């Protein structure tokens, strides 16, 4: 039996009619119940197709019954609590707490809905571990297995683990990570099953897509410069196209906001402010524009603003080419030791 505290936390069981409602209906009821401002914030995080589907469902809701409203909000609260329990101590911890609070049947139902929405991903235990611990249980594994594990870690963890591998294995793992697109749930579960014997932790599976070039870029962007250069140089021999793609994505135009003012001012001396910069800023965000304007003279800022306004409609390809030329200047200056691009996350200190 649940304690009074646990029962109070989880609240009463949702109404029976709730089981008959579909996911879109529940989403529509929840957003209608919580108001337009809340719905607008939620929509910012959804895909166009999802927004369209839910909007159509909202349009079909003429009146929300009080019982349905209460039940949907309660179910949402229970799922949020369950997710919090998982974040706190893993899925088995969440199951134990939920079973004590609401019983095995409702606990399984809540966790089932949660895992069905991919809120529980494989290798959760690894993401909660220190990189040194992760390194211990993957050290003797095949490079493909290591790449699969790294693909499910956050970039900072993955970069730390990668940096601890020997040079030859680093290259092999990054190549496999970059070329990885999707892995069947069965294979993911099998890898988890094998690794859990080493780590003595049970983890639920379900996420099958991970890795790819973007993940490899995220890892390399957080690696030290020596590790990054060694891996890219080796990949240029083994897979020139992949190496070129990785280099092109290593520092993107929006990352200008992360440059210190001194480095940016040095880079601006070599950048075409009359042509490339206005074109590059044509569709840039406010933060990037502000960063540039802060590091040019008042007159240069006025000239840039005027040049942007005079451009009129431009092709996206032209904007991307201009941004890439600017990125190329920055990468060259970094290679020459003229500027510093902070690496290794927000805690890195550059002296």
pLDDT category at 104 given cuts 50, 70, 90 is confident
Q: Are 226 and 295 part of one and the same domain?
A: no
Count Cβ atoms within 10 A of the Cβ of residue 52 and give its class: 0-12 exposed, 13-18 middle, 19 or more buried: exposed
Tell me what percent of the residues of the chain surpass a pLDDT of 70.
Answer: 68
DSSP states of 77-126 as a string?
HHHHHHHHHHHHH-HHHHHHHHHHHH-HHHHHHHHHHHHHTT-S-TTHHH
Assigned domain for 288 exists: yes
Q: Residue 261: which pLDDT band, with cuts at 50, 70 and 90?
A: very high
Beta-carbon contacts of 171 under 8 Å, excluding residues fewer than 6 positions away, are 230, 231, 234, 235, 238
Q: Is there a domain that residue 92 lies in?
A: yes
Residue 86, pLDDT above cutoff 50: yes
| Structural domain containing residue 224 | 124-234
**What is the sign, positive or negative, of the torsion defined by CA atoms of 50, 52, 53, 57?**
positive
Out of 116, 135, 165, a domain closes at 116
DSSP 149: H
Residue 35 lies in a domain: yes
Classified as helix, coil or strand, 182 is strand
Average pLDDT of span 195-202 = 57
Q: Nearest to residue 344, comparing CAs of 259, 172, 230, 219? A: 219
When computed from its CA atoms, the radius of gyration of the chain, rounded to whole angstroms, is: 25
Q: Is residue 345 part of a domain?
A: no
Residue 180 lies in a domain: yes
User: Residue 300's pLDDT is what?
Assistant: 93
Residue 240 lies in a domain: no
Q: Are 268 and 295 in contact (CB under 8 A)?
A: yes
| Residue 244 counted as domain residue | no
The CATH number covering residue 281 comes to 1.10.220.30
- pLDDT band of residue 318 (cuts 50, 70, 90) is confident
Confidence of residue 33 (pLDDT cuts 50, 70, 90): confident
Question: Do 112 and 8 share a structural domain?
Answer: yes
Q: Which residues pair with 304 in a beta bridge?
A: none
How far is it, in rounded angstroms, from Cα 296 to Cα 268? 8
Which pLDDT tens digit goes with each residue over 4-16? 444 444 444 444 4
Separation of alpha carbons 296 and 302, rounded Å: 10
pLDDT in tens, 211-230: 677 778 777 766 666 677 78
In whole angstroms, give the CA distance from residue 55 to residue 24: 9
Same-domain status, 74 and 130: no
Q: What is the pLDDT of residue 197?
A: 62
State the average pLDDT for the chain: 75
pLDDT at 255 > cutoff 80:
yes
pLDDT value at residue 7: 41
Question: Into how many domains does the chain fold?
Answer: 3
Question: Is residue 110 situated within a structural domain?
Answer: yes
SS3 at position 209: strand
- Per-residue pLDDT, 346: 43
209 versus 257: which is more confidently predicted? 257
* pLDDT value of position 26: 79
99 and 185, same domain (yes or no): no
Contact 2, 100 (CB under 8 A): yes
Name the nearest CA neighbour of 153 among 231, 91, 207.
207
**93 shares a domain with 55:** yes
Whether residue 124 contacts residue 91, with contact meaning beta carbons closer than 8 Å, is answered with yes
Residues 6+ apart with CB under 8 A from 330: 251, 256, 259, 267, 339, 341
Contact 111, 91 (CB under 8 A): yes
Phi, psi of 349 (to 5 degrees): -115, 125
Judge whether residue 75 has pLDDT over 70. Answer: yes
- Do 63 and 149 have their domain in common? no
- Are 257 and 287 contacting, i.e. CB atoms less than 8 angstroms apart? yes
């Amino acid at each position: 039996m649940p304690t009074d505290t646990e029962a109070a936390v989880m609240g009463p069981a949702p109404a029976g009619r709730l089981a008959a409602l579909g996911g879109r209906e529940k989403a529509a009821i929840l957003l209608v119940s919580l108001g337009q401002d809340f719905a607008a914030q939620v929509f910012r995080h959804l895909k166009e197709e999802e927004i369209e589907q839910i909007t159509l469902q909202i349009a079909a809701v003429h009146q929300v019954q009080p019982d349905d409203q209460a039940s949907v909000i309660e179910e949402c609260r229970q799922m949020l609590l369950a997710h919090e329990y998982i974040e706190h101590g893993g899925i088995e911890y969440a199951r134990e707490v939920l079973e004590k609070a609401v019983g095995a049947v409702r606990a399984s139902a809540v966790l089932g809905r949660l895992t069905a929405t991919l809120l529980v991903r494989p290798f959760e235990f690894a993401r909660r571990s220190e990189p040194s611990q992760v390194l211990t249980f993957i050290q003797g594994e095949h490079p493909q297995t290591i790449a699969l594990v790294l693909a499910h870690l956050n970039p900072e963890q993955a970069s730390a683990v990668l940096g601890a591998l020997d040079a030859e294995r680093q290259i092999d793992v990054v190549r496999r990570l970059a070329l990885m697109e999707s892995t069947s749930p069965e294979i993911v579960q099998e890898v988890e099953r094998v690794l859990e014997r080493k780590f003595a932790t049970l983890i639920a599976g379900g996420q099958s897509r991970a890795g790819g070039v973007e993940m490899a870029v995220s890892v390399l962007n957080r690696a030290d410069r020596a590790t990054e250069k060694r891996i890219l140089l080796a990949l240029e021999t083994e897979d020139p196209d992949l190496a070129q793609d990785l280099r092109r994505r290593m520092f993107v135009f929006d990352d200008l906001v992360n440059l210190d003012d001194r480095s940016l001012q040095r880079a601006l001396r070599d950048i075409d402010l009359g042509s490339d910069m206005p074109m590059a800023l044509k569709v840039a965000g406010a933060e990037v524009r502000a960063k540039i304007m802060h590091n040019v003279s008042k007159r240069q800022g006025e000239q840039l603003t005027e040049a942007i306004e005079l451009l009129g409609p431009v092709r996206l390809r032209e904007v991307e080419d201009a941004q890439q030329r600017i990125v190329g200047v920055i990468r060259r200056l970094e290679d020459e030791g003229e500027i510093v691009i902070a690496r290794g996350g927000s805690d890195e200190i550059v002296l």
